[in-house]
Structure 1
C-alpha cells in the first residue's frame, strides 16, 4: 500500500501570437514547434498508457491563449502546411543521405516521427483540445486554467479590477472550451500576493500552485512544509513546488536534460545544410532558422557546436528509461523518509513547463512515459495523483497565509520588473485606469459595444507576462517590445474614439480580426468590485 503521493504538474502555455495580416511571422512557429515536439507527443503517450491499462494521473494547465490558438482555424491551416513542409524535408533528407548510414538512419527516424504526428493531427481533425479533453473525461488528466493572458498579477494588484478580469475571463473561457468550470489554476509564473486567494475563491477556483517558499514562509509556518497543501482562510488550497524534484530536471549542472546522450537543441540543419538546398525550408526572406531536424547529441557540456557527435535515438531512449528509474527511486526514498516524519501521507508536487518535455528536452515525453509505467509496475511506495483527486481524498488541511512569491529568479518579482522592462508598467497601469473608466460606459450602438470589448482584449494582451520575460532574457526582444506597444496603442486609440463618440469602423474591424482572442468577452468585467 502506498504511503505517499507524487503529483506531476505540466504548465502548457504560449503567448497569443497570430498574424493574419502577414503571410509569415517567425514567432507563429513557437506554436507549431510545440505542437510537433510537445503536445502531440504527450497525446500519443497518453493514448499508449490508456491502451496498456495504466491508470495514469497528471495535472496539466492549458492557458487561454494556448487553447485559443490551438482552436484557431487560421493557425490550424498554417500548422498543417508547416507539418507538410517538415514531412517533405525529412523525406528529402532520407534520399539526400542514402549513402550516409547513420545520418540516413536519423533522417528515417524524423520521417517516421513526422508521419506519426500527421496521423495524430488528422485523427483529431486538427483539434487537439478535444484530444486532451478526452483524458480529462476519464479522470486521467486534471486540466486547470491560468490567467487570461498570463498577466503577472502581483504587479497589477493596485488595480483589483485588472486582476479580477484576468481571472474571470480565464474562468469563463475554460468553461466554454472544456464544458465545465476549472477546479484549479496555475497562477502566472506561480506569482502569489496576499489577498489573491480571495479573488480565486470568488471566481470559483478550488486550488492554486505556488513556489516552495510561498509555503515555507507562510503564517503560521505549515507543519508539513511543502509536503502537504494548506488551505487559505478563503478555503482555496495552495500546493507548493518541491525543490528536490525540480532540481533533478531543471538544473543546468545536474539535470537530466543535459546528459551527453541526449539530442543537442542548438545544432539544426536549418543552420548547417547547404544554403541552396535548405532555402525552400527556411524563412521567406532567405534567413536561416531552426527547422526541427537535428542530427547531433550534446556529447559534453562545455564543448563547441562543432565538437558534437552524432545522435542515436535508441541510446537516448535507453537513457530516458534509466533517468526515469532514477527519478522513481529518488521519490521512493524521499517519500519513505517523509512518511516517517509526518505521520500522514506526504505529497511531492513537481511542476514544470510542459514545453520542456519534447521541445527543449527532446526525450522528455519518453522520460514521462517510462516514469508512469515504472511507477505503476516497479514500486508501491507512492501513488501518482492529480491535485483534484488529492483534495477529494484529503479534505482537511492546515490553514495558513502563504507568503508573497514567484518561481522566477530569486523567488520574488524582479525577473518581471527590472532595468530591461520597467518602462512598460507606467503604461500598463495607465491603460488599466482607462479600461476601468471605460467599463462604466454604456454603449450607444453595436459599434461602440465592439470597441469597448476590443479595448478589453487589447489590455489583456498587453499585460502578458511573456513580453516582460522576453525583454529580460534578451531573446526576440524587438518582437516583445513591438507587441507591448501595439496593444497599448490600440487600446489608447479605442479609448479616444469611444470618448469622442466616433468609432473608425474599418479600423476596428481590422483590429478585431487580428486580435481575436476571447470572442465572447464582456468589457464590464472591469467594473469596480463590490
Structure 2
C-alpha cells in the first residue's frame, strides 16, 4: 500500500570511475581491477537500469561516467579481455562446484568442500548469466547501452574532464582542454553532451564556475561540507548561473561511510575473504572480529532478508529527511545521496539488488525520485553561494592530492605539464596552417593527462597499491618527456616512432586533438 507523498525530491547520484588500466599490468593491480568491477558492478547495474527502463520508469538516477572509464568499456582490447575473464570466472566456479578434496577448513566454515561445492554451483550459474548478457548486449561496448538509457530518460548522464585530473592543481590551459575534450568525448559516444559533470574528486577551486559556464556546464557535484552542510537546495555559484549540488552526508553515510554502513552487515558477502584455490569469495561477513578462515558460508536467503531490511531503513531515512528539511527551510527540499558506482556489486555484492528494490520502494513510499536536471527544472535552487576550496577526500580539502606524502607527484605533474605545453605550442606553431592533426602533439597531451590523473596521488595518500600508482605516474611522465625531447631536438621521425609506440598502450581518446589546446 502506497504511503502519503512527502514534500521535495530525492536524487541518487552514482560516480563511475577507474583509472586507465588496459595494457598496464594484470594482478594484483591492473586489468583485473577493471574486469572485477565490470563483472560485479557494471554488468548488474546495467541489468537493473534496463529492467527499470523497460517498465517505463524515468529519471531514476543520475549517472556519472568518466571519459576514462567509458574509453575502457568501449575498447576492443578490453572487451576481448573481459570476455575471457568471464569465461575464466565460470571455470573457477566449476572447479569449486566439483571440488572433492578436503581444504583443511574447519567444520561450518565457508571453505569446507560441501560449502564450496554449494557456493560454486550458484556462482557457475551467475557467471553463465553474465557471459550471456555480455555476449548479447555488450559486444559493441557500453556506449550503445548507455545511450538507450539516456534516450529513454531513465538516467541523466554526468560527464567530466579527460583522464580525471585533480582540476584545482592543474594548469588552466590544460584544465580547460581536458574539460572541453571530455564533454566532446561523451557527445561522440552517446550523441548527447552532458549539461552536468561530476568534477573529479568533487574538487573545487574558486573561479572554476566560470570555466564551467564557458564550457556549457550548468551544474556540478560537491561534497556536503562545501555547501557548509546545507545541501537541501542546489546553489548558483558566485555570479554565474552554474549550480552546485551537495551530497547529503547524513543520508549518504547511512549506506556507506568511512566507519560504517550496510555492506558491513553480518549476512552480506565478505569482500576480503577468498578461497585461495579458486579465487572466489564464499563467506559472509559473519562478524567484525571474525578471522577469515573462521567465517561462515554465504547464505543467499539470509542476505536477501538483510537487503529488505536495509531498503526499508533507507526509505525511512529519506522520507524523514525530506520532511524535516522541508520544514526547516519552509519550502520543499532536495536530498542528494551520492556514491561510487563500484560500491554496488564490487565492494558490496548485494548492492545492485538493494538499488533495484530501493528504486521501486521509494515511489511506493511517497518519495518523488528525479535526476539533478529534474531538480533544476522543478526549481530546487536557492540563493547564490561562494564555495571554499574543497573536495570529497579526507578533511574535505585538497590534502589527499596536495599533501606532503604526494609532494613528489605534485612536482612531477607541474614539470611534465610545463614541458608538454611548451613542446606542443612550438610543434603547432611550426606546422602553421599545415592540414591534418599532429599525432605527436596529440600523444604528448594524452600521456600528460594520464600523468596528472587524480588516481595516482589518491592511491599513494591512502597507501592503496602506492607503488603501482607511483610507477604509473612516472611511466606516463617518462612517455611525455621522451616524445617531447625527441621533438624538441629536431628528431621528428624518432618522435613519431615513440608516439606510435606509446599509443599502442595508451591509445584512448582517439579524438583528442592538440590543435584545440587553448592558445
The 1:254/1:458 distance shift into structure 2, 3 A limit, reads closer
Task: State the 1:341 CA deviation.
Answer: 2.1
The 1:248/1:75 distance shift into structure 2, 3 A limit, reads same
Structure 2 residue 457 is matched with structure 1 residue 468: yes
Equivalent residue for 2:9? Answer: 5
Task: State the 1:26 CA deviation.
Answer: 4.6
The 1:62/1:97 distance shift into structure 2, 3 A limit, reads farther
Whether contact under 8 Å (1:153, 1:188) holds in the other structure is: yes
Task: State the 1:506 CA deviation.
Answer: 2.8
Equivalent residue for 1:414? Answer: 399
Equivalent residue for 1:220? Answer: none
The 1:306/1:24 distance shift into structure 2, 3 A limit, reads closer
Equivalent residue for 2:267? Answer: 261
Whether contact under 8 Å (1:154, 1:191) holds in the other structure is: yes
Q: Where in structure 2 are the equivalents of 1:100-499 lying within 5 Å?
A: 101-126=114-139, 127-156=141-170, 159-216=171-228, 225-232=230-237, 233-269=239-275, 271=276, 273=277, 278=278, 291=279, 293-377=280-364, 379-380=365-366, 382-394=367-379, 397-441=382-426, 442=428, 443-444=430-431, 449-499=438-488
**Cα distance in 2 between the residues matched to 1:180 and 1:345:** 30
**Cα distance in 1 between the residues matched to 2:145 and 2:437:** 38
1:251-301 C-alpha deviation (Å, 9 max, x unpaired): 3544111101111111112x2x3xxxx5xxxxxxxxxxxx3x211111111
**Cα distance in 2 between the residues matched to 1:106 and 1:25:** 24
**Cα distance in 1 between the residues matched to 2:341 and 2:197:** 15
1:341-374 C-alpha deviation (Å, 9 max, x unpaired): 2222111111100001100011111111111111
SS of 1:148 mapped into structure 2: coil
Task: State the 1:375 CA deviation.
Answer: 1.0
Task: State the 1:118 CA deviation.
Answer: 1.1
Task: State the 1:405 CA deviation.
Answer: 0.9
SS of 2:336 mapped into structure 1: strand
TM-score by length of 2: 0.91
1:470-499 C-alpha deviation (Å, 9 max, x unpaired): 111222222211111111111112222222
Structure 2 residue 32 is matched with structure 1 residue 41: no
**Cα distance in 1 between the residues matched to 2:159 and 2:90:** 33
Whether contact under 8 Å (1:439, 1:524) holds in the other structure is: no
RMSD: 2.1
**Cα distance in 2 between the residues matched to 1:329 and 1:335:** 10
**Cα distance in 1 between the residues matched to 2:329 and 2:358:** 25
**Cα distance in 1 between the residues matched to 2:36 and 2:381:** 42
Equivalent residue for 1:84? Answer: 87
Whether contact under 8 Å (1:49, 1:56) holds in the other structure is: no
Aligned residues: 497
Task: State the 1:523 CA deviation.
Answer: 1.5
The 1:226/1:24 distance shift into structure 2, 3 A limit, reads closer
SS of 1:60 mapped into structure 2: strand
**Cα distance in 1 between the residues matched to 2:92 and 2:331:** 55
Q: Where in structure 2 are the equivalents of 1:47-62 lying within 5 Å?
A: 47-55=50-58, 57-62=60-65
Structure 2 residue 518 is matched with structure 1 residue 512: no
| Structure 1 unaligned spans of 5+ | 218-224, 279-290
Whether contact under 8 Å (2:57, 2:154) holds in the other structure is: no
Task: State the 1:464 CA deviation.
Answer: 0.4
Task: State the 1:376 CA deviation.
Answer: 2.5
**Cα distance in 1 between the residues matched to 2:227 and 2:54:** 38
**Cα distance in 2 between the residues matched to 1:80 and 1:202:** 41
Structure 2 residue 77 is matched with structure 1 residue 74: yes
**Cα distance in 2 between the residues matched to 1:484 and 1:78:** 24
SS of 1:110 mapped into structure 2: helix
Whether contact under 8 Å (2:6, 2:319) holds in the other structure is: no
Task: State the 1:24 CA deviation.
Answer: 7.7
SS of 2:95 mapped into structure 1: helix
TM-score by length of 1: 0.89
Task: State the 1:150 CA deviation.
Answer: 1.1
Whether contact under 8 Å (1:207, 1:239) holds in the other structure is: yes
Task: State the 1:47 CA deviation.
Answer: 2.4
Task: State the 1:303 CA deviation.
Answer: 2.3
**Cα distance in 1 between the residues matched to 2:308 and 2:455:** 33
